[in-house]
């Protein structure tokens, strides 16, 4: 959900959670309202805050939230929590998005239950992101190069980067937040046997041999492996995934193949989620939200032109 920030960052972030049902497995905020950015999103005073809440029982949570925050929902609220949950889970990225909610405060990760499986999944996700980025980078690269790849993973293939988003969005995220990226990924980089991390110089070297790339490909998430297999497997061959990944590991264009696989995952999901957003947000909010995005994109163009 996206909330319009009314107060300064000094407001206790716990106050935000008090507006919502308590049964949360994880709650975090992201975007220009949380981490400083450059470019059109640099005005944090009026920046929008994006929150993600994860819950164990979406039907029960939506049922409670409808009682507390009826006005947050679009016309779909009249269909009840079960239909809302069905729309959330079965279409797009599995997220139900309520935009342009008025609230207060600025936060990062604001609540997390001691859920071992959830914490393990978050750690695994960070490591998978690093491995994916490694495959798309050359043998030697800077920290900034790596962090740009990492920040850009979720935008790869996203049609909103063509219409609706500032083209320098990823760079604007990374530039002022190098220290945050180091904090988040530093231990993973130092413990990875395939990378030489020269912290003082801010540079890294990765094993780009076919054997090294095959090892990295084999640790990618299964969904990405299957997409790569689908892209590379010619009709009638029906090769298994491991055979395809072995071939890709020896391909000079290995990184581009991985990027194509990533785009094939993000593109349909982003399109479905955006279409779903018209219904979960309602037409009026969708128009307002889209106009804000287009305005930021226009400001980015003007900034680049000048």
DSSP string, 108-141: SEEEE---HHHHHHHHHHHHHHHHHHHHTS-SEE
Q: What is the DSSP letter of 246?
A: H
- 103 sits in which H/E element: strand 101-103
At residue 149, the pLDDT reads 94
Looking at residue 217, its pLDDT comes to: 97
Alpha-helical segments (H) within 69-196: 81-90, 116-135, 143-152, 169-174, 178-191
pLDDT of residue 5: 42
pTM for the model stands at: 0.72
What per-residue confidence (pLDDT) applies to 10? 33
The pLDDT of residue 301 is 47
pLDDT of amino acid 24: 86
What is the reported pLDDT for 257? 96
Taking only the tens place, the pLDDT of each residue in 118-151 is 888 889 999 999 999 999 999 999 999 999 999 9
**Which alpha helices (H) appear in 153-253, and where do they start and end?**
169-174, 178-191, 210-218, 222-232, 241-249
| Euclidean distance between CA atoms 30 and 36, whole angstroms | 10
- Sign of the dihedral through C-alpha 213, 218, 219, 225: positive
The pLDDT value recorded for residue 17 is: 80
Query: Tell me, what's the pLDDT at 270?
Result: 76
Helix (H, G, I), strand (E, B) or coil at 142: strand
User: How confident is the model at residue 214, as a pLDDT?
Assistant: 98
Tokens 């990374």 found at:
174
pLDDT of residue 11: 44
Regions of the chain with pLDDT less than 70: 1-14, 31-48, 103-114, 157-167, 236, 283-306
């Amino acid at each position: 959900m996206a909330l319009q920030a009314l107060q300064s960052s000094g407001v206790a972030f716990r106050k935000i959670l008090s507006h919502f049902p308590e049964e949360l497995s994880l709650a975090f905020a992201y975007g220009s309202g949380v981490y400083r950015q450059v470019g059109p999103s640099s005005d944090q005073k009026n920046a929008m805050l994006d929150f993600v809440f994860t819950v164990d029982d979406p039907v029960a949570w939506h049922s409670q939230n409808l009682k507390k925050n009826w006005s947050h929902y679009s016309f779909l609220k009249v269909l009840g929590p079960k239909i809302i949950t069905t729309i959330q889970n079965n279409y797009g990225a599995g997220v139900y998005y309520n935009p342009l909610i008025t609230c207060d405060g600025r936060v990062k990760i604001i609540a997390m239950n001691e859920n071992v499986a959830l914490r393990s999944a978050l750690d695994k996700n960070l490591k998978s992101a690093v491995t994916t980025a490694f495959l798309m980078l050359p043998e030697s690269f800077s920290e900034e190069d790596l962090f740009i790849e990492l920040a850009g993973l979720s935008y790869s293939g996203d049609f909103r980067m063509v219409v609706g988003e500032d083209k320098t969005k990823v760079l604007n995220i990374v530039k002022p937040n190098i220290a945050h990226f180091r904090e988040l990924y530093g231990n993973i980089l130092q413990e990875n046997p395939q990378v030489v991390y020269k912290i003082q110089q801010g540079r890294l070297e990765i094993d780009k041999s076919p054997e090294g790339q095959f090892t990295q490909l084999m640790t990618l998430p299964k969904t990405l492996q299957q997409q790569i297999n689908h892209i590379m497997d010619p009709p009638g061959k029906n090769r298994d995934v491991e055979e395809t990944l072995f071939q890709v590991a020896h391909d000079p264009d290995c990184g581009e193949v991985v990027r194509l696989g990533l785009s094939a995952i993000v593109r349909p999901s982003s399109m479905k989620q955006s279409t779903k957003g018209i219904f979960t947000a309602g037409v009026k909010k969708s128009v307002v939200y889209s106009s804000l995005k287009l305005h930021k994109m226009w400001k980015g163009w003007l900034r680049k032109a000048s």
